[in-house]
Amino acid sequence: MGFGFLGLGGHVPPLVIDNAQVAEWTGAEESWIVERTGIRERRYREPGTVTSDLALHAAREALGALPEAAARLGVMIVATSTPDQPQPSTGAILQDKLGLTEVPAFDVNAVCSGFLYALAVADSMLSARLAGQGGDHALVVGTDIYSSLMNRSDRRTVSLFGDGAGAVLLGPVPDGYGVLGWRLVAHGEHHDLVEVPAGGTRTPLDARSREAGEHLFRMRGREVREYALGVLPKVVGEALDSAGVRLENVDRFILHQANTRLVEACARELGVAPDRVPLTAPQFGNTATASIPLTLRAENELRPFRRGERLVLAGVGGGMTAGAVVVRWY
């Protein structure tokens, strides 16, 4: 028995931030934003909305695909790098909002790779039957609110990120379907390429750190791009090897939507045609941990996956981290 996707969910908030707004904040030309990123708009939370609120919408949609799934959940994992609060976990808060008491719930933070890490953990727990009271389903959610971290004067980052949530319901499928293999890596020596310096035990979130902007997101974009183009093909290749699948037999690649131009460059580096690599970055921007499940859901709505299709879900994130998961659709 394998474990595959039995339900998909996704949610973005209604507030649209277009390139005209970003240009007003940063002084960048709208044409520069489109040329450099391929992003035309992104979504921001409305006042009072927290990360678990976005997750709740996506989780309910995923669970709704199989009404009895909630009673069969063995674990729920929330991937996020923008939690509701430092503690408790956003997973525990989401569990309460869903009314799923006693189901083990926790967070995973691998920044934009977080959904892939959480998916691999869920698959491992279900496969080992270590997921709590015999539950044979898992809810995996990727959710982030990066608008809360943006330096609105920094055109290199504020032009990229938006808010959103995506979710999958993982459950039993026949042998040969579902998750076939995965590969995760981390290169902590590059942890300073993507960061929010303040707010932890190293740098307190105080008046000085706020004045210095250390509570806001920072990224060394050129080096992140080099990391992605160097590491992603290797990780994808290793995941395919573990699954016994050849690159040319993969039907679609669901890549982390860092930005349109980087997704296009990754596709070229992998040697796959653009029509095998769906894009949601133009309308949603980089939604961090939400981008892979959001893109999975959007592509399934546009061109429904057929039974037996082989998919690769892959991306990189801060840390630096990277991952790839090979799935055969059921």
The Cα-based distances of 229 to 114, 169, 242, 322 in angstroms read 19, 30, 21, 11
Residue 112 falls in the annotated catalytic set: yes
Do the bridges between strand 178-186 and strand 163-173 make them parallel or antiparallel, or are there none, so unpaired? Answer: unpaired
Residues 6+ apart with CB under 8 A from 162: 12, 17, 42, 43, 44, 146, 147, 284, 285, 286, 287
Q: Which of 19, 109, 259, 286 is the catalytic position? A: 286
Q: 224-240 in b/e burial notation, b at 16+ Cβ within 10 A?
A: bbebbbebbbebbebbb
Task: Give me the residue label for tokens 């293999």.
Answer: 181
Residue 300 falls in the annotated catalytic set: no
Contact 277, 192 (CB under 8 A): no
Residue 151 falls in the annotated catalytic set: no
Q: Which of 19, 57, 112, 215 is the catalytic position? A: 112
Q: Which of 11, 215, 256, 259 is the catalytic position? A: 256
Q: Is 207 left (phi over 0), alpha (psi -120 to 50) or beta?
A: alpha
Give the whole-angstrom CA distance, residue 189 versus residue 191: 6
Rg (CA), the chain: 19
Q: Which helix (H) or strand (E) holds 242?
A: helix 221-243
Give the catalytic positions in this structure: 112, 256, 286
